């Protein structure tokens, strides 16, 4: 049997557009001689539809869209799609997350998702009732173990902890299937490709059954989907795989077991490509902006953000502005000019000194008798933020914020200043990764797009004379190591200290800085998620709390030992 894997990029809420795309791709699969074509999870609505699912009007529109889909699909081919469907029972959530098989203009089979994730960015129990059965679908003599996304992830035999009692993979295998078919909306994070290899390969080897996965591609607000659809043979080896970060159609003959998946993945290349896709889809799917705008400081973060914007949108759609203050170094302006010239973008020079002087004069009486400090420094950041927002408003530009995850973690960012904007491109990228991206961008281009002086200079906010990030923060390799262990691995002071040898007082200080900065992050623009644990909808800590870490005997002993 010839099966098409349709890795498409739906738009959340665009029911007519998504249906038209599914029909067009199904027609192409039919022309290519496919018997069956498989689309991703919730491809009719786009993922995640969030509280659109609470609207009865929206669900009515979904049902009408499914009727249009059934009428428009080619009759000679089977088509599997993902969509929400109503729960007819009076008890439970009102919807199921379902895989639907259409054939001959009719709905032939329905499989309801059993495992509903409620961790990180997922909140499916908020909307969906869990399915209670794992039916085997007989399609033209091929017994399909059809299931939805999370249903495959509870089959990791070596896992230390299982989130669910049910294991749909085992249940389907026990009934006897010829092929596992998973439709997914599985978000990207660095390293996700290898995780899928391990989970799917293990399922194949355990049950001796080949596995077909179709994952969505594209970005919807914070969440980026890499696609990475694939087929694995019954012994676990990959037969074929779709490219990541772009739409694609693959065709697989079920009799074919030859491996033809040669694409290699590196973390830095995947990170780079994911950010470009996330930025491009935010800009294009909103359709609200005429251009992208970046405030260029001459530093590494704004340079990488600008280079990514050019790669995503084209140089003709990116504008850079340098906003020097009295403390800006000559290099901050010249490096910004060089970057703009290298990238071929529109560039403007708007000094903020008059605005800062005006604020200082305005506040002179009120601030009289006080020591100059953070408030005066932040006037500069806020003057820049106000200027950039004025340009954004005037010309309809999407302002990109440039702060990285290291800075956002510890609050090294200014509300209503450098945090202004519509999309935070690097907010889930640590400072050390930003340097890696800068080098990768230059290497991939075969030329110096980001000036070497920008990469080499010590990072600085340049809000006071001779200021350096190192005045307030530990070296970024140390800081990022601590932050990863806390934010992504959920380790605490004692565990981090014992694992790294860093002084307990330093680790305690950094972790408390992270927690105290939550109020800032709640006011930040949405950021592109590229790690297993990003700030935003996937990490929820209270702003108002009195959780204070106690320095336990273990921590004190560790500190004395150091």
246 is catalytic: no
- List per-block mean pLDDT (blocks of 10 residues) for the chain, which spans 562 residues: 98 98 98 98 98 98 98 97 97 97 96 96 96 97 98 83 91 98 98 95 97 98 97 96 97 92 89 98 95 96 98 98 88 94 98 96 96 93 97 97 97 95 98 98 97 91 72 92 97 96 95 95 97 94 83 49 46
Radius of gyration of the chain (CA): 26
Contact 398, 289 (CB under 8 A): yes
H helices within 368-463, ranges in order? Answer: 374-395, 405-410, 431-445, 452-456
Task: Please write down the HEC assignment for all residues of 531-554.
Answer: CCCCCECCECCCCCCCCCCCCCHH
pLDDT value for 553: 47
Helix axes 493-500, 553-561, angle to 10 degrees: 20
How far is it, in rounded angstroms, from Cα 500 to Cα 495? 9
Give 99's strand partners. 82, 111
**Residues 6+ positions from 203 with CB-CB distance below 8 Å:** 152, 155, 169, 180, 209, 211
Q: How many CA atoms lie within 13 A of 296 on its CB side?
A: 34
> Is residue 266 helix, strand or coil?
coil
Residue 539 vs residues 52, 162, 428: alpha-carbon distances, Å: 22, 21, 12
- Domains in the chain, ordered, with CATH? 2-257 (3.60.110.10), 272-561 (3.40.50.620)
261 is catalytic: no
How far is it, in rounded angstroms, from Cα 471 to Cα 458? 11
Pairing status of strand 211-215 against strand 179-184 = parallel
Within its chain, how far is the Cα of 279 from the centroid? 10
Query: Catalytic residue among 41, 129, 150, 407, which?
Result: 41
pLDDT value for 462: 66
pLDDT value for 68: 98
pLDDT value for 170: 96
How far is it, in rounded angstroms, from Cα 362 to Cα 371? 17
pLDDT value for 359: 96
How far is it, in rounded angstroms, from Cα 514 to Cα 526? 18
Query: Catalytic residue among 21, 43, 103, 113, which?
Result: 113
Query: Catalytic residue among 21, 124, 129, 149, which?
Result: 149
63 is catalytic: no
pLDDT value for 550: 59
């Amino acid at each position: 049997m010839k099966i098409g894997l349709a890795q498409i990029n739906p738009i959340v809420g665009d029911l007519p557009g998504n249906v038209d795309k599914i029909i067009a791709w199904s027609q192409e699969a039919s022309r290519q001689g496919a018997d069956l074509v498989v689309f991703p999870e919730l491809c009719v609505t786009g993922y995640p539809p969030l509280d659109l699912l609470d609207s009865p009007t929206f669900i009515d529109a979904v049902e009408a869209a499914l009727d249009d889909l059934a009428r428009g699909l080619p009759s000679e081919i089977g088509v599997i799609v993902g969509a929400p469907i109503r729960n007819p029972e009076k008890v439970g959530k009102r919807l199921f997350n379902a895989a639907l098989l259409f054939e001959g203009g009719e709905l032939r089979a329905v499989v309801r998702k059993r495992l509903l994730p409620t961790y990180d960015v997922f909140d499916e129990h908020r909307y969906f009732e869990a399915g209670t059965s794992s039916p085997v679908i007989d399609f033209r003599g091929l017994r399909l173990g059809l299931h939805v996304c999370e249903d495959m992830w509870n089959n990791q035999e070596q896992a230390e902890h299982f989130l669910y009692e049910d294991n749909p993979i085992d249940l389907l295998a026990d009934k006897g299937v010829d092929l596992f078919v998973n439709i997914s909306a599985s978000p990207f994070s660095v390293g996700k490709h290898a995780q899928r290899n391990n989970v799917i390969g293990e399922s194949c080897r355990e049950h001796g059954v080949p596995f077909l996965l179709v994952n969505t591609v594209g970005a919807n607000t914070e969440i980026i989907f890499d696609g990475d659809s694939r087929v694995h043979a019954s012994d676990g080896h990959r037969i074929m795989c779709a490219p990541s970060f772009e739409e694609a159609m693959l065709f697989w003959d079920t009799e074919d077991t030859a491996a033809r998946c040669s694409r290699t993945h590196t973390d830095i290349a995947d990170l780079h490509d994911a950010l470009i896709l996330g930025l491009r889809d935010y800009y294009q799917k909103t359709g609200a902006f005429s251009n992208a705008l970046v405030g260029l400081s001459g530093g590494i973060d704004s340079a990488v953000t600008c280079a990514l914007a050019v790669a995503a949108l084209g140089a003709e759609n990116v504008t850079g502005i340098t906003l020097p203050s009295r403390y800006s170094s000559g290099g901050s302006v010249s490096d910004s000019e060089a970057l703009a010239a290298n990238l071929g973008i529109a560039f403007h020079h708007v000094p903020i000194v008059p605005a800062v002087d005006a604020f200082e004069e305005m506040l002179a009486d009120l601030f009289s008798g006080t020591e100059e400090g953070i408030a005066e420094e932040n006037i500069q950041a806020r003057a820049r933020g106000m200027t950039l927002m004025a340009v954004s408003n005037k010309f309809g530009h999407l302002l990109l914020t440039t702060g990285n995850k290291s800075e956002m973690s510890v609050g090294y960012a200014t509300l209503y200043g450098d945090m202004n904007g519509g999309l935070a491109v690097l907010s889930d990228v640590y400072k050390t990764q930003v340097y890696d991206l800068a080098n990768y961008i230059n290497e991939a281009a075969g030329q110096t797009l980001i000036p070497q002086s920008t990469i080499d200079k010590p990072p600085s906010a340049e809000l006071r004379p001779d200021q350096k990030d190192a005045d307030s923060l530990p070296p970024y390799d140390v800081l990022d190591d601590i932050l990863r262990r806390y934010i992504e691995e959920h380790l605490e002071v004692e565990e981090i200290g014992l694992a790294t040898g860093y002084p307990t007082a330093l680790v305690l200080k950094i972790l408390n800085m992270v927690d105290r900065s939550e109020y800032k992050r709640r006011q930040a623009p949405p950021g592109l998620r590229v790690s297993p644990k990003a700030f935003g909808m996937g990490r929820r800590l209270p702003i108002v709390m009195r959780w204070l870490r106690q320095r336990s005997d273990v921590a004190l002993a560790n500190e004395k030992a150091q």
